[in-house]
Amino acid sequence: MNTPALLSGLGLAAIAVYLFRLAKQDMGIRKELKGLTPIRIRNIQPGLCLVEGTVESQETLSTPYGQLPSVWFHYEAFERRTRQDSSRMYDHSLGSGEQSRPFILKENSHSIPLMPDGGRMSTYPHKRLFKSESGTRTGMGDRIKKLKEMDQNRYPEGGKKPFFRKLEVNAPLDIPDDLVELAMGSGEAERAHRKYFESWVQSGDRMFILGTAAMAPDGSGLRIMKAGRSPLLLSSDPKDLTAKAFQRTMLMGLLVGAGSAALGIFLIMIGLGAG
């Protein structure tokens, strides 16, 4: 038995299944988008809708690295590493996550609340990249201190904390105190040993949203949310929310998935000693 080949084949098979699943989701979204036209906020009726408007919120979140006010942010930290089988470098993810909070989507004098739970952001309007000026990471003592602060907020006094809880879901523990901003795509950004990336949505941004309009539980009015299998997708680029865009990603997923499946089966056969 060729164990490395078998394990590689099983890994590729798992990737293929994942890609096929994503392609199926994209196919479903494409069907829902076909024939769906953008609608003004004042004309929204219960059901799936495609709408645009300006973000408005009084209560905001601070982005983890730049400490900027936002209603939705994503972060990720990378470290440059060398591949074991070659001298080529690649960016290894040290951690990632996102946070969001309800906000208002406004168009002139009309507005509608948006509930972000279960939603997915396609394209963020703002992005920033940082590195530690000294090249060091946050010390373990400071990380433990921050973890305790996070636990105090998430689990009130006497609240039970799960033992195997994920440490970095909403906010990173590693935030060096000497971060400096880098220009996206610059040589310095390419060479940086560790990079800290954040993207976000803030008040005043023009956003395009595909979601379900439904009545709030208290009967106060319609709100946009994710309902059942219907998607909640947001983007600063309207081209992301078209049937053509999802058809393209669906076909790409099927193509790459088929290639991964074929190679995976081949490696599995080698691993099992077939032929």
Distances (CA, A) of 99 to 117, 165, 179, 186, 252: 10, 17, 21, 28, 29
Q: What is the pLDDT of residue 146?
A: 66
Residue 33: count other Cβ atoms within 10 Å of its Cβ.
Answer: 21
Over residues 237-255, mean pLDDT: 84
Q: What is the pLDDT of residue 153?
A: 61
Q: What is the pLDDT of residue 194?
A: 87
Judged against a pLDDT cut of 80, whether residue 34 lies above it is answered with no
116 Cβ contact list (under 8 Å, min separation 6): 71, 72, 100, 101, 102, 103, 232, 234
83 Cβ contact list (under 8 Å, min separation 6): 89, 90
Instruction: Note whether 32 and 242 are within 8 A (CB).
Output: no
Between 255 and 125, where is the model more confident?
Answer: 125
Q: What is the pLDDT of residue 254?
A: 87
Judged against a pLDDT cut of 80, whether residue 166 lies above it is answered with no
Least confident of 63-67, 79-83, 164-168, 200-204: 164-168
Taking alpha carbons only, the member of 59, 61, 39, 60 closest to residue 48 is: 39
274 band by pLDDT with thresholds 50, 70 and 90 = low
234 band by pLDDT with thresholds 50, 70 and 90 = very high
> What does the domain layout of the chain look like in residue ranges?
46-240
Instruction: Note whether 3 and 275 are within 8 A (CB).
Output: no
20 band by pLDDT with thresholds 50, 70 and 90 = confident
- The per-residue pLDDT of the chain, averaged, comes to 84
Distances (CA, A) of 146 to 149, 158, 175: 5, 19, 10
pLDDT digits (tens, 9 = 90+) for 253-267: 888 888 888 888 888
| pTM, two decimal places | 0.76
Instruction: Note whether 232 and 120 are within 8 A (CB).
Output: yes
Percent residues over pLDDT 70 in the chain: 86
**DSSP string spanning 156-172?**
-TTPPPPTT--SSSSS-
In the chain, what is the straight-line distance between the N-terminal and C-terminal CA atoms, in Å? 12
- Two tokens, residue 41: 């906020």
Q: Strands 126-132, 194-201: parallel, antiparallel or unpaired by DSSP?
A: antiparallel
Q: Strands 233-235, 120-123: parallel, antiparallel or unpaired by DSSP?
A: parallel
Judged against a pLDDT cut of 90, whether residue 121 lies above it is answered with yes
Taking alpha carbons only, the member of 143, 131, 125, 115 closest to residue 238 is: 125
